[in-house]
Structure formats: C-alpha cells, structure tokens
Amino acid sequence: MVAEHIEFQRLNGDQGREFINTQQRFQTYLDARRRDSGYRGSMIFAARHGVEYLLRDYYDPKSGVKRQRSLGRRDEHTEKVFAEFTRGKEEAARQLKVATETLRRQAAVNRALVMGRVPEIGAKIIRAVDGADLLGKGLKVVGTNALFAYEASAGVRFPSDITTTEDIDLLFDARAHMRLAAEEDVAERTLLGLLKKADRSFRRTDRTFQAVSDEGYLVDLIKPMRDPPWKVEASSVSGEPSDLEAVQIIGLAWHENAPQFEAMAIDARGFPVRIVAPDPRAYVVHKHWLSERPDRNTLKRDRDAAQARWVAALVATHMPNLPFDPEVLKSFPKSVVERARPLFEVPGSAEASFAM
C-alpha cells in the first residue's frame, strides 16, 4: 500500500491564475523566437564584377560558420525579396522584444507569488540544451529534475525532501540523429560548450561522462547499457574527444523506449522552462525497480522509493489522462511493471493549499 501520509500542496488561486498566464505568454514568446530565428543573418545588395546581386548571409546549421549565397541579380523580383525580408526581420525582432519583456514582467509576478521551483542553474542548462534543438531530440531530463515537469502539469507541489538536488542527469539517445543547432558563430560546438553558456566554470571531471561547476553542481550524461555492452554506437553529442561521453547504465533502455512527457515549469527566478522527461508512469516503475536493488546505496534506495510513491500518487489522483496501462510500459519487463502496480492503487490523497 502507498503511504497514507501523502499530501499534495495545491497552487492557490493567485498562483494558479498566474501559472496559466505564464503558459500563454511563454507560448507567445516561443512563437516569436521561432519566427525571429527564421530571419537570422542578413541580406544586402553587393556589386560583383560590375553587377549587383542580392546576397544572403546565414549560419551553417552544422558548423556554425557564417556563409553567404547569392539570390540573383538585382531586379524587380530581388528588390521585392529584399523588402519583404527587411520588413519581416524588423517585425519579428519587435515581436520578440515585446514577448521577452512581457515574460520579464511575468517572472517578477511569479517571484512575488513564490512560484519558482526549478533550481536556476538546472533551468539554465535545460534552456541551453533546448536552444540547441536537442531537448526531446536525443537528450531528455531524467532523475529528480523530471519531478518539476510532473508537478507543474498537475498544478501541485512535491515536498522539498524529494525534489532537492544539486545535479542533473541527461539521458542520451544514441539512436537519434542529433544536430547541435547553431545560433551564432561559436568556437566550441559541444555539450560541454552548452553547459558553459549556463555557467562558464563548468569543466569535465576525471569521469568523462560528468561535468562540474565551481559551486559543485554536477551534470551527468548517461545512456542505456547495451547488449553486448561493447556494441559500437555514438556516446557524445558532438563526437569531439573533449566533450562529455555518456556512461552506460543498466535499466535506462526502458526509459529510452518509453513515451516522452513534456511540461512547462517555473524556475527560481520566475521564468518558464520547457522540460522533456520520461512518462511519469515509466518514472515510477524505474524508480521502484531501483529502490529494490540490493547493490544500490541505502540512502539512494530510500529516496528512489519515496519518489516512486509520490509520482505514482500524483498519476493516480491528478492525471486521469495517464491511467496505469501495462501496454504503455511494454519496454519494461512484465515482472518489473507488476511489482510497481500497487503503487498506482491510491485510495485517496489529501490536498492542502500552498500557503504563501
């Protein structure tokens, strides 16, 4: 049976209202950013051998190097292309500026209402990965940080003792055809380079799968254990020898093949952050399996068990769209799923309004 003391803190009325406002404004911002990115680079008319051509500067998505191509001689058509591009670029930049400022104001409201949940450094890392077009496309958030996506989707809060963390685990899917998107001409096109955008002090440790900041925040790049374990496949985002190289861990293949889950959470500064994590039902089954492993550290096993109980209770009481379904969990061994089944059989769960 699930522990009877499980009690979720619900967002109060003001917090619920502003969470919805944040979702809407975040979507407006994402749309504006997407449109603005379509106008990266520039257009100019330039003379070549006495003839004017319309030239488009752009960043190569693979290398990040700035390139240039001709769109044709100057004539009525290219004049129109240039005018439309200029207007569109200016309008897109204006919309992005307005959307960004709106998010800043919303963040201040969120801070006042004590809505921040995701640690600031963790949120910066997730945004850097998302900005490189890797989140959900080869990398996803696993471990404790995934809890922020689950609770945000349900409009409740987990207790701090199961969400407190000083690290983040990124699950690497070597099967995905990843390409680190370039937003500018950058020298270091690696996962480690992305981490340095979040905190310049990040460096790889003696463990090649791990990076650490000066403040001791850890980032682990992990991937499923293959059979055989020496099976040749990619182990890094970039292929560069100086980049993080994912370490193989048993049991992660179940997460790799489970459905993904996406939600917007709010970070410690009040800003929204998109999180892509494993389906919460898969999270429960995996955590429960970890909690029963005799070779795992006792303190970690206890925390695994607590996280499994809380997420299972959340699914059972606040996520009617995600019923316990063995078919959804078919990537897990049947015996592992059945051992976790009782966790989802929650007779009821009390709720408390979150006090400011």
pLDDT digits (tens, 9 = 90+) for 214-269: 999 999 999 998 776 666 678 889 889 999 999 999 999 888 888 999 999 999 99
Q: What is the mean pLDDT of residues 192-204?
A: 95
Task: Tell me the HSE value of 220 on the side-chain side, using a 13 A CA sphere.
Answer: 15
pLDDT digits (tens, 9 = 90+) for 155-175: 999 999 999 999 999 999 977
What is the reported pLDDT for 185? 45
Provide the pairing of β-strand 139-142 with 51-59. Answer: unpaired
Q: Classify residue 311 by burial, with Cβ atoms within 10 Å: 0-12, 13-18, 19+.
A: buried
pLDDT at 347: 59
User: Three-class SS of residue 291?
Assistant: helix
pLDDT at 3 over 50: no
Candidate from 37-46, 69-78, 176-185, 269-278 with smallest mean pLDDT:
176-185
Please state the rounded mean pLDDT for residues 134-158: 96
**Residue 30's pLDDT is what?**
96
Return the minimum-mean-pLDDT range out of 24-33, 66-75, 224-233, 307-316: 224-233
186 pLDDT higher than 60 = no
**Strand 218-224 with 167-172, pairing:** parallel
Instruction: Give the pLDDT band of residue 177 (cuts 50, 70, 90).
Output: low
Per-residue pLDDT at 303 exceeds 70:
yes
DSSP 216-243: --EEEEEEEPPSSTT-----SSS--TTS
Phi first, then psi: what are they for 85, rounded to 5°? Answer: -65, -45
pLDDT beyond 80 at 5? no
| Mean local confidence (pLDDT), 98-125 | 98
What's the order of all strands across the beta sheet hosting 7-10?
Answer: 156-157, 7-10, 350-353
Least confident of 2-11, 183-192, 326-335: 183-192
Please give the model's pTM, rounded to 2 decimal places. Answer: 0.89
* pLDDT for residue 183 is more than 70: no
Q: Is the pLDDT of residue 58 over 90?
A: no
Per-residue model confidence (pLDDT) at position 349:
47
- 199 and 217 Cβ atoms separated by less than 8 Å: yes
Q: What is the mean pLDDT of residues 102-108?
A: 98
- Name the least confident of 52-66, 200-214, 320-334: 52-66
What is the CB-side half-sphere exposure of residue 152 using CA atoms within 13 A?
28
Average pLDDT over residues 299-313: 96
- Mean per-residue pLDDT, 181-186: 52
Q: What is the reported pLDDT for 184? A: 52
Alpha helices in 38-166 (DSSP H): 76-112, 120-131, 147-154, 160-163
Average model confidence (pLDDT) across the chain: 90
Q: Which of 248, 238, 233, 130 is nearest to 186 (CA)?
A: 238
Residue 91 has pLDDT above 50, yes or no: yes
**Rounded average pLDDT over 163-192:** 77
**Helix pair 76-112, 13-37: axis angle to 10 deg:** 160
